[in-house]
């Protein structure tokens, strides 16, 4: 049985953009942001206040960067600041943050600048 062509040229992950055909190509092995610190450009820093956390898991569910750190029981233990982009989705969905008293919030932004730039 003859293998049907997909129409894509398979290229290595070390290929330059000049080696790609018009229309793109498939990389055999791609990377992900886990290998790269991508959170160091943000102007603010997310802060986790453990004693205010109710461990509902909503922050973990909405985080697009998988930056919410959980222990083996599923309880939040912090934020991976090397990958967090400070999008604020976790801050918005956090139930303790509905309290008008900011000292009761579980996730908040620090006021001072923390960017590496």
- pLDDT, tens digit, for every residue of 27-60? 555 566 666 666 666 667 889 999 999 999 999 9
Q: 31 — phi, psi (to 5°)?
A: -100, -175
Distance, in Å, from the CA atom of 14 to the CA atom of 27, rounded to the nearest integer, reads 9
**pLDDT (tens digit, 9 = 90+) per residue, 77-107?**
999 988 888 889 999 999 999 999 999 999 9
* Whether the predicted model's global pTM rises above the 0.85 cut: no
Question: How do 68-70 and 46-48 pair as beta strands?
Answer: unpaired
Distance, in Å, from the CA atom of 49 to the CA atom of 23, rounded to the nearest integer, reads 47
Distance, in Å, from the CA atom of 56 to the CA atom of 98, rounded to the nearest integer, reads 14
- Please say whether the beta carbons of 65 and 59 come within 8 A: no
Q: What is the CATH number of domain 38-109?
A: 3.30.70.20
């Amino acid at each position: 049985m003859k293998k049907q062509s997909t129409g894509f040229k398979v290229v290595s992950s070390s290929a330059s953009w000049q080696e790609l055909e018009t229309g793109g190509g498939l990389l055999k092995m791609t990377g992900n942001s886990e290998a790269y610190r991508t959170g160091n450009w943000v102007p603010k820093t997310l802060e986790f206040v453990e004693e205010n956390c109710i461990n509902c898991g909503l922050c973990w569910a909405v985080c697009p960067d998988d930056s919410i750190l959980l222990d083996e029981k599923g309880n939040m233990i912090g934020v991976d600041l090397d990958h967090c982009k400070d999008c604020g989705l976790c801050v918005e969905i956090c139930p303790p943050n509905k309290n008008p008293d900011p000292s009761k919030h579980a996730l908040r932004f620090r006021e001072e600048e923390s960017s590496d730039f």
